[in-house]
Amino acid sequence: MEKVLLVDDEKEFLDTMAERMEARDMNVTTTTSPKEALKKAQEESYDAIILDLQMPEMDGLETLKELKKKNPDLQVILLTGHATVQKGVEAMKLGATDLLEKPADLKVLTEKIKKAHTRKMVLVQKKAEEKVRHILAEKGW
């Protein structure tokens, strides 16, 4: 079961999207506040964070930058009303996993979440292997 954090200032969008994603066996947490999203991302481990590009308090790119600063391995998918090439490039440079235009096709989004989940698992596994290698090297076995 994928664990997803959904961040968008449109509550109606969040409620509907969350219900649909939960029906597809995803564990969904929602928030309309980017600041709360940063807090939640520190407290919990998510397979993917779906982030709206334009929000009050902090815009999506700023939130993405903060999320990545705290955890570079986070898989963040951006949702936007208008996906301009410039925003897309900026988002990718900041480490976004993907960028989707609203209204998004849930099938496509679900696939991207699953890919993000796999990528996260690979990263977790790599880190565990590195840790073991480091211990082995230190102990000199």
The two structure tokens encoding residue 119: 């990528």
Window 17-36: contact mask with another protein (x via CB under 8 A): x-xx--x-------------
Q: Which contiguous run of DSSP H or E holds residue 51?
A: strand 48-52
73 binds another protein (CB under 8 A): no
C-alpha distance across the termini of the chain, in Å: 38
Token pair 């211990």 in the structure block, residue = 135
Q: Tell me the closest approach of the beta carbon of residue 97 to another protein, in angstroms.
A: 20
Quick one: 61 or 74, whose CB is closer to another protein? 61
103 upstream amide cis, omega within 30 of 0: yes
Helix ranges, 1-141 (H) = 11-23, 34-43, 60-70, 85-93, 106-139
Which span sits near another protein by CB under 8 A: 12-20, 43-51, 61-69, 125-133? 12-20
Q: How many residues in the shown chain lie near another protein by CB under 8 A?
A: 20
| Footprint of another protein (CB under 8 A) | 9-10, 12-13, 16-17, 19-20, 23, 54-57, 59, 81-82, 102-104, 106
